[in-house]
Amino acid sequence: MYSKREELENFRIFKGPLIDVRSPGEYYKGNMSNSINIPLFDNEERSIIGTLYKKKGKEKAIIQGLEFIENKIDNLLNKLFDAINLYKESNSENYRGEPTLKIYCARGGMRSLSISWLLNKFNINTVTLKGGYKGYRKWTLESFNKEWNLIIIGGKTGTGKTKLLKFLEKNKYQVIDLEGLACHRGSTFGSLGMKEQPSNEQFENLIAEKLKDFNKDIQILVEAESSNIGKCKIPHDFFNIMKESKRIEIIKSESNRLEELVNTYSIYDKNDLIDAVIRIKKRLGSQRTKLAIESIKNENWITVCKAVLQYYDKCYEYEKVGKNNIKKIDLTDITDEKKILKLINEFLKL
């Protein structure tokens, strides 16, 4: 009998588009990465069927479902065929033969099985995920219970931690960019220039997918974060590991930090920046808030960043992630990539 991990690996091994046939609402809440949502029922139809099932039983619900499908069968098939053709086009150089549609619904039941049955009538290869998305979520949550070997990248605001993580990932280190997955930088300015945040459930799925490809015996580099990144919350078990992990503390001069912040935030709309400052008005105080807003209007970016930096440096004193085992690395004015890698490697060997 397969474990949940083995079932997923067997499902993933097939070459072809990944199709989620659940409703758009279910899909938005959480889905398997790189899946395409081709719903058998829309949100309203799913609600109607669910109500019928509760009040009048399974048979009535199935009949209603078949009536919904009858009116959209051509459109549904066209979308599925389009997914197949798009997959063929995008993988033409690396793949030969007919792809297999990997289909899943909530529990691996009627929705995925009915789509699979229909496509088989057209000689389309299909496979369904046993246990459906519910099984996938179980696998996701179990992923955070392992003893991951994390190294925390810490440092005050403006020390370029995210940039460093991307550089290390480019150099084949195991890296999880939590802010990138959450589409948020974790501060009042965190949403500027970012896509809409995923649901918390989807955020967890994305972390699990990153961990899936990692060797758990090799160090994984993660930026120091509070438990919440915007509206996304780091999984409890994973955050507990972060709190007890070794930490690289990046040190940079104030001038380096101000330059990093100016380059990062001065490109954004002034009104958005002012709104972000107003959100922390109580913590900044009226005088610093007024100074920051006037400086934004006048594009005096150094003054803006200095005003905000004082607040974030105070907040930093309360950070708890990886505080028990710290190695400080001073990267002030260091831009040579080989030297940066050498300093990081010296720490990782400890």
Tokens of 255: 């001038």
Tokens of 338: 């080989």
Residues 6+ apart with CB under 8 A from 67: none
Burial 256-272 (b: 16+ CB within 10 A, else e): bbbbbbeebbeeeeeee
CATH 3.40.50.300 matches 4-141: no
Q: Give the 3-state secondary structure of residue 57.
A: coil
Distance CA 76, CA 80 (A): 6
Backbone φ, ψ for residue 125 (5° rounding) = -70, 130
* Per-state percent for the chain, helix, strand, coil, to nearest 5: 55, 10, 35
**pLDDT, one tens digit for every residue, the chain (350 residues):** 456 678 888 899 999 999 999 999 999 999 999 999 999 999 999 999 999 988 998 888 888 888 888 888 999 999 999 999 999 988 877 667 789 999 999 999 889 999 999 999 999 999 999 999 999 999 999 999 999 999 999 999 999 999 999 999 999 999 999 999 999 988 888 888 889 999 999 999 999 999 999 998 899 999 999 899 999 999 999 999 999 999 999 999 999 999 999 999 999 999 999 999 999 898 888 998 999 999 999 999 999 999 888 888 887 776 767 766 788 999 999 999 999 999 999 888 75
Tokens of 260: 């990093």
Q: Give the 3-state secondary structure of residue 336.
A: coil
Radius of gyration of the CA atoms of the chain, in A: 25
Nearest of 148, 158, 172 to residue 242 by alpha carbon? 148
147-251+321-350: CATH architecture: 3-Layer(aba) Sandwich (3.40)
Give tens-digit pLDDT for 252-292.
Answer: 999 999 999 999 999 999 999 999 999 989 888 899 899 99
Q: How far lies 199's CA from each of 94, 204, 233, 279, in Å?
A: 33, 9, 10, 22
pLDDT for res 32: 96
Q: Give the 3-state secondary structure of residue 232.
A: strand
pLDDT for res 350: 57
Question: What global pTM score does this model have?
Answer: 0.91
How many residues does this entry show for the chain? 350
Tokens of 273: 């920046």
Structural domain boundaries in the chain: 4-141, 147-251+321-350, 253-319
Nearest of 213, 16, 34 to residue 95 by alpha carbon? 16
Give tens-digit pLDDT for 8-34.
Answer: 888 999 999 999 999 999 999 999 999
